Amino acid sequence: MSDDFHFDIPRHSNDFPAFIEGKRVGINEQGRHFLTIGGRKWVLDPNEPPLETLFAPEQFQSFPPPPRQVTLMGKLTLLWGSGITGLLLFGSIFACFGMIFTCLFVGSGVVDTYPTWCENGTANVTTIEDCKFSVNDNKVFAYSFSGQDANGDAVSGISYAYNNKFKEGQTVSLRQTNFFGEKWKLEGANFSMGGSMGYWGLLIFIFPIVGTCIVFFGTILPGLKHRSLVTYGELALASFLRQESTGTRVNNRTVQKLVFQFETPEGEQYEASLKTLEPDKFLSDNSRKIVFYNPDNPKKSLVWDSVASMMKFDEFQQLFTGFTANIPVFLAFLAIFCFELVWFCHNVVTGKMFF
């Protein structure tokens, strides 16, 4: 004799929500939903919607099946808008300001620090100019020179040294390197205004590297995961499980991790989480949350509420689109950082601090 019983209370009855409250929902061998009550399985009418959607957020039924079409703005929103704005802003500022010091003090000194310079010919100092620039209280002067290399070919250029190191008309040995093209300087002088920074100068690279890592791991990496889940992920409903402190502080506020639990059609339970500075915003309605998850690896999941405020359906109810303040912040960071990379390369090649 079967242990499956049908409901004798219509699903549209006012008593039905109270009747099923707190009861566990399952799926029997025929793929039909049931409740376990008093050790017996009560089967739902298979022609009605799944039981778990009774109290689902209204938007749950409106999502199209995967793969979902996402507009370009929607992709940018998911890619750059998934992180905390304050963290993105901090990482961007840290990277950009760190790169300024890298350009000024490392870029121009790379040529004097790392390549090998070989003696090759002599030259006469033709003019001396005060650069109106000091390094460790030592005034920097520019020494124009002209001469010949060991093969008799004409050579000219500018070298930099401190405190009137050479006199006009003085003959000085030349040194030459082929680092990013043929370069010449006077013996005992620098090719760049700032001179050699030594190998400790590489430590300055820590600042732009740390800032870039904050932007990448705090925004771009989770954004790539979220974009994939929204496009290809399956849907589930999750209940709040617990709240944890991450220990990370942004604007003197601690980032909180909210953990939710959802169940796959196979009956396996997994956790999905989001990080926020405003946990009450996600817990105030006490409703179950929509979760996108990777069916091949349900541990990879996205709580829809974490990006829902930035996203919406278009008029065709098929495409996701959205906008967030993170987009202009990230675009500004990208533009400034790319400019600084060009500036750094210019300084490496020319030995100058500025364009």
pLDDT of residue 144: 92
CA dist 264 and 298 (Å) reads 8
84 and 14 within one domain: no
Q: Collapsing DSSP states into helix, strand and coil, what is residue 228? A: helix
Quick one: 49 and 131 in the same domain?
no
Same domain, 168 and 78: no
218 shares its domain with 326 = yes
Query: What is the C-alpha separation between 347 and 40, in angstroms, rounded?
Result: 78
Q: How many domains does the chain have?
A: 3
Look at residue 317 and tell me if it is in a domain.
yes
Residue 349 within any structural domain of the chain: no
Examine residue 109 and state whether it is found in any structural domain, yes or no: no
Q: How far apart are CA 82 and CA 276, in angstroms?
A: 11
Chain centroid to Cα 194, Å, comes to 33
Residues 43 and 6: beta-carbon distance below 8 Å: yes
237 and 162 co-located in one domain? no
CA distances from 185 to 80, 106, 114, 175 (A): 46, 18, 15, 5
Q: What is the DSSP letter of 225?
A: H
Q: Are residues 178 and 214 in the same domain?
A: no
Helix (H, G, I), strand (E, B) or coil at 353: coil
In a domain, 275, yes or no: yes
Asked whether residue 213 falls in the same domain as residue 287, the answer is yes
- CATH number of the domain at 149, please: 2.40.50
> Residue 260 domain-assigned?
yes
pLDDT score recorded for residue 22: 44
Is 49 contained in some domain? yes
348 part of a folded domain: no
The burial class, CB within 10 Å (0-12 / 13-18 / 19+), for 233 is buried
pLDDT by residue, tens only, the chain of 355 residues: 344 444 443 444 444 444 444 444 554 555 555 555 444 445 555 554 454 444 455 566 667 788 888 877 777 777 776 656 667 778 888 888 888 888 877 777 777 777 778 888 899 999 999 888 777 788 888 899 999 988 888 999 888 888 778 999 999 999 988 887 788 889 888 888 777 666 666 778 888 999 889 888 877 888 888 888 988 999 888 888 899 998 888 778 888 999 999 988 888 899 999 888 888 888 876 678 889 999 999 999 998 888 776 777 665 555 566 666 677 877 888 899 999 999 988 887 777 777 6
Alpha-carbon distance of 13 to 19, in angstroms, equals 10
What's the CA angle centered on 227, arms 224 and 231, to 5 degrees? 145
302/233 same-domain check:
yes
Residue 347 within any structural domain of the chain: no
What is the model's pLDDT at position 320?
62
Biggest CA-to-CA distance, the chain: 114
Asked if 187 and 285 sit in the same domain, the reply is no
- What are the structure tokens assigned to 243, written together? 């709240």
Q: Which domain holds residue 268?
A: 59-94+209-332
Is 106 within 8 Å of 202 (Cβ atoms)?
Answer: yes
Alpha-carbon Rg for the chain, nearest whole angstrom, is 33
* CA-to-CA dists, residue 190 to 108, 124, 246, 346, angstroms: 10, 16, 49, 17
- Record the pTM: 0.59
pLDDT at residue 294, rounded to an integer: 93
Are residues 217 and 304 both part of a single domain?
Answer: yes
Nearest CA to 5 among 31, 37, 29? 37
Q: Answer yes or no: do 75 and 224 share one domain.
A: yes
Q: 79 with 220, same domain?
A: yes
CA 77, 79, 80, 84 torsion-angle sign: positive
CA angle 34/17/7 to nearest 5° reads 40
